[in-house]
Structure 1
Amino acid sequence: MASNTVRVLSIQSHVVSGYVGNKSACFPLQVLGFEVDTINSVQFSNHTGYSHFKGQVLNATELRDLISGLKLNGLDRYTHLLTGYIGSDSFLEVVQEVVKHLKEVNPKLIYVCDPVMGDEGKMYVPKSLLPIYREKIIPLADIVTPNQFEAELLSERKISSKADVIEVMDWFHSKSVQTVVLSSTDLGSDTTLLGMASSVKGDKIRLEIDIPRFSATFTGTGDLFAALLLGWMYKTDNNLPESVENTVATMQKVLHRTLDHARSLASDKPITAVHKELRLIQSLDDIRNPVPIVKAVVL
């Protein structure tokens, strides 16, 4: 295998129809030039925002089997690991083993952890995952991309000001995380979400960025955000402002295109989950060549 090959192992959910989890993360990373291998923590017919969904959940033994197969064939050398939605304690415990193993194979491996646990004050994974993330997974991560609620859960600190965000980001740094990006906080305005980020890789830098709000909510956006950030942090040699600006630029284009399409499909009827599936394939050019519309402000 060529030494300059950039390979990502992405462990998160999968849907047959639509775009969340690996379906949301894989295509953008491929467009940005990465080889992407995927392990599906769950395989569902569609995301859980629909009225019905069916499918399977991968267990810890099955995850170990897949990693063993890669290892036996010498296919376990990756430059990046990305993890997203994981629904059980035992599976998350094995993810810890996977991270440690992959970092032994390649000590330069970058682990991007999106600690998918909940949003807007509600957890949608068992509470028992929280201490595993806090004590075992986060200390192994190089980059984390929690939303505000997840950052509060992990750090056990309430966020009600920018100073609180900085304290929370510093908590992650104290756990050996080099780069922390809060993809959104409630500290913005009626028209914007406030994103904040901090990195101690090289010169310490903190920044904030005002992200235009949308009138609708979408599924799969956090998965897309984490994948884009992974891609741009590598392509810009860890330039945090440029990476965040490019990530937000692509997100804005994808969501604008998705909302316009949803409105055209729904016509005068209510917009449903199927209408709001992310328009990723149609956004190929915006993934490959983002044009930043908002600038990050270095603090």
Structure 2
Amino acid sequence: MKGIISIQPHVVYGHDGNSSAVFPIQRMGIDIWPIHTGQYSNHTQYQQGWTGRSYPADDINAAIQGLDNIHQLSNCQAVISGYLSNTEQCTAVNQAITQVKNRNHSALYVCDPAIENHVEASVHFEQIQTQIIQQLVPISDVVVSNQYELEQLTGLKINNIEDAIYACQRALTMGPNIILIKHLPIVAEKTCTMMLATPKVIYISQRPWIEFTRSPVGVGALVTALFTACLVNQMSPVAALQHTNNALYGVLELTRDNNSCELETVSAQYEFVEPTFNFPLQKINFKKTISTT
């Protein structure tokens, strides 16, 4: 049985982290083996707060070793890592990727940096950020980030689409072969823009902006899950971008129509297989300014 390992936190109620990734990947016909880095009652947008805790990093090591004991790491087609709450978890993910790739050289590592935009940066979060940049990004095959995270990874400020292209080019020199930006707010108002960059091509895909009274949580994890599943299903990166963007819009539209503050991933499950919408892609002509070899 082949599958995808997803190393992220889990929420009991709602959709975020593994709770946002597991069902969509399954609905796309792929088994997923979630390793929870923590468990929480719900995500943090609820005014009543949340309960739960982060799990020890050794739990990641133990789960990976257990899969290896039953000779299943060779059947792992991809590993996703999302939000990590401490440097020990970063180290454990690094070790997990090494172990998986030793068993299956073609397995993809998809890194979602999930670097939070804190008003006041702490030493703790700076250490996690440093470890992600120095240890995880260099061994990744794909990085799925938002604009802020790409700025942190590359040290470049993004003010326009040219800056975004340059930042993607720099990120590609750090290790990955594919960069997917979940949203570039600097491109156009009332529009959500995604950008895909490889050493050879850059595409953008746009969809209408959907207004929410309270934006649903877990969208980033859903994007990463959908894009990874597309790649595992042998779609090209460009086709994966289009499918991800189309499916995501369908989920968000139904979430808005149902006046829900949680992603309607179950009600909108048909979107993962055959999206309702078909937004066009635009190829961006660019001048290679940084060597990616």
TM-score by length of 2: 0.90
Return the match for 1:63 from 57, 60, 67.
60
Write the distance in 2 (CA, Å) between the matches of 1:238 and 1:173.
Answer: 20
Write the distance in 2 (CA, Å) between the matches of 1:178 and 1:121.
Answer: 31
Q: For residues 218 and 233 of structure 1, do their structure 2 counterparts lie closer, same or farther at Cα, with a shift above 3 Å needed?
A: same
- 1:119 offset after TM fit, Å? 4.6
Q: Give the counterpart letter for 2:210 in structure 1.
A: F
Structure 2 equivalent of residue 231 of structure 1: 229
Provide runs of 4+ in structure 1 moved above 3 Å.
Answer: 119-125
Offset from partner CA, 1:171-219 (integer Å, 9 cap, x none) = 121122111010101223221022211123xxx1111122321212220
1:240 and 2:237 aligned: yes
- 1:121 offset after TM fit, Å? 7.0
- 1:72 offset after TM fit, Å? 2.0
Q: Give the counterpart letter for 1:250 in structure 2.
A: A
1:295 and 2:244 aligned: no
Q: Is 1:246–1:292's contact at 8 Å kept on the other side of the alignment? A: no
Matches within 5 A, 1:156-171: 156-171=155-170
Q: Is 1:205–1:298's contact at 8 Å kept on the other side of the alignment? A: yes
Write the distance in 1 (CA, Å) between the matches of 2:188 and 2:118.
Answer: 16
Return the match for 1:208 from 176, 184, 204.
204
Structure 1 equivalent of residue 111 of structure 2: 113
Q: For residues 18 and 176 of structure 1, do their structure 2 counterparts lie closer, same or farther at Cα, with a shift above 3 Å needed?
A: same
- 1:63 offset after TM fit, Å? 1.9
Instruction: Compute the RMSD of aligned alpha carbons.
Output: 1.8
- 1:291 offset after TM fit, Å? 3.7
Q: Is 2:6–2:34's contact at 8 Å kept on the other side of the alignment? A: yes
Write the distance in 1 (CA, Å) between the matches of 2:118 and 2:195.
Answer: 17
1:294 alignment partner, SS class: coil
Structure 2 equivalent of residue 266 of structure 1: none
Q: Is 2:115–2:149's contact at 8 Å kept on the other side of the alignment? A: yes
Structure 2 equivalent of residue 269 of structure 1: none
Q: Is 1:92–1:132's contact at 8 Å kept on the other side of the alignment? A: yes
2:9 alignment partner, SS class: strand
1:184 alignment partner, SS class: coil
Q: For residues 49 and 199 of structure 1, do their structure 2 counterparts lie closer, same or farther at Cα, with a shift above 3 Å needed?
A: same
Q: Give the counterpart letter for 1:209 in structure 2.
A: S
| Residue segments in structure 2 that go unaligned for 5+ positions in a row | 285-293
Q: For residues 122 and 184 of structure 1, do their structure 2 counterparts lie closer, same or farther at Cα, with a shift above 3 Å needed?
A: farther
Q: Is 1:113–1:145's contact at 8 Å kept on the other side of the alignment? A: yes
- 1:241 offset after TM fit, Å? 2.4
Write the distance in 2 (CA, Å) between the matches of 1:229 and 1:119.
Answer: 23
Write the distance in 1 (CA, Å) between the matches of 2:37 and 2:59.
Answer: 10
Write the distance in 1 (CA, Å) between the matches of 2:118 and 2:2.
Answer: 35
Return the match for 1:19 from 15, 24, 27.
15
Matches within 5 A, 1:136-215: 136-200=135-199, 204-215=200-211
Q: For residues 169 and 238 of structure 1, do their structure 2 counterparts lie closer, same or farther at Cα, with a shift above 3 Å needed?
A: farther
| Residue segments in structure 1 that go unaligned for 5+ positions in a row | 263-274
1:145 alignment partner, SS class: strand
Q: Give the counterpart letter for 2:13 in structure 1.
A: S
- 1:42 offset after TM fit, Å? 1.1
Write the distance in 2 (CA, Å) between the matches of 1:70 and 1:209.
Answer: 37
1:249 and 2:246 aligned: yes
1:97 and 2:82 aligned: no
Q: Is 1:229–1:244's contact at 8 Å kept on the other side of the alignment? A: yes
In the comparison of the two structures, how many residue pairs are matched? 279
Structure 2 equivalent of residue 267 of structure 1: none
Structure 2 equivalent of residue 270 of structure 1: none
Structure 1 equivalent of residue 126 of structure 2: 127
1:126 alignment partner, SS class: helix
Structure 2 equivalent of residue 84 of structure 1: 82
1:285 and 2:270 aligned: yes
Q: Is 1:7–1:79's contact at 8 Å kept on the other side of the alignment? A: yes
Q: For residues 136 and 233 of structure 1, do their structure 2 counterparts lie closer, same or farther at Cα, with a shift above 3 Å needed?
A: same
Q: Is 2:249–2:277's contact at 8 Å kept on the other side of the alignment? A: no
Write the distance in 1 (CA, Å) between the matches of 2:117 and 2:220.
Answer: 11
1:127 alignment partner, SS class: helix
